[in-house]
Amino acid sequence: MWLHKLWNDESGVVDVSAYLFFVTVICLGTLCGWVTIRDQVVQELGDLSVALQNIDQSFSLNYTLGTLVKTASFIDDDAGDGVAGAAPAGIDLTVAGAGEQ
């Protein structure tokens, strides 16, 4: 009895078209959000790779050994592949896809 009454109760009913519109908007928004997150993660990983590539490990150490003053040094002259003023690493939208000209 109460199940039949509940089944036939129409107060607070949302029609199917409104529900379908709501679900579509939520799905599209979620998809756009995930795409943005993916793009930003790739961009950050590209920036991290450029930063790691440009680490300068040069050093110079002056020390005294008895009465002698010694110097130990290393000059890291590997400038990496980066070009000053180049665009940051990550997603490159100027590259044509496979088979495209």
What phi and psi, each to the nearest 5 degrees, are found at residue 60?
-145, 130
d(CA 99, CA 101): 7
Q: If you compute the radius of gyration of the chain from its CA atoms, what whole number of angstroms results?
A: 31
For the segment 21-30, what is each residue's pLDDT rounded down to a tens digit? 999 999 999 9
Report the pLDDT value the prediction gives residue 8, as an integer from 0 to 100: 80
Report the pLDDT value the prediction gives residue 23, as an integer from 0 to 100: 94
Report the pLDDT value the prediction gives residue 52, as an integer from 0 to 100: 82
**14 or 70: which leads in pLDDT:** 70
For the segment 28-87, what is each residue's pLDDT rounded down to a tens digit? 999 999 999 988 888 888 888 878 877 878 888 888 888 888 888 888 776 655 566 666
